[in-house]
Amino acid sequence: MDQQALEPRLEKIEIKLAFLEDFLNRLQEEVTERNGLVDKLSLEHEAMKGRLRQLAREVEYIPRQKPPHY
């Protein structure tokens, strides 16, 4: 193949590569953002589990308390 025939093919390959690089960069940004959200939600989930455990202990304690008027 001569140089003139290779030029358009190389140009197409370079364009495709540029699009793929852009796609990968955007995908990486999205994955990073989602990982941050998952981390935040995991922390919130753990906090809620702790609060539910605390409330469950308090609810168990309430029936054993005497009403204030006794």
- Please tell me whether residue 55 adopts helix, strand or coil conformation: helix
Token pair recorded at residue 27: 């995908």
pLDDT band of 70, cuts 50, 70, 90? low
| Domains of the chain by residue range | 25-70
Decide which of 69 and 40 is more confident: 40
Q: Which amino acid is at 9?
A: R
What percentage of the chain reaches a pLDDT higher than 90?
71
Record the pTM: 0.64
* Distance, CA of 4 to CA of 18 (rounded, Å): 22
* Distance, CA of 52 to CA of 13 (rounded, Å): 57
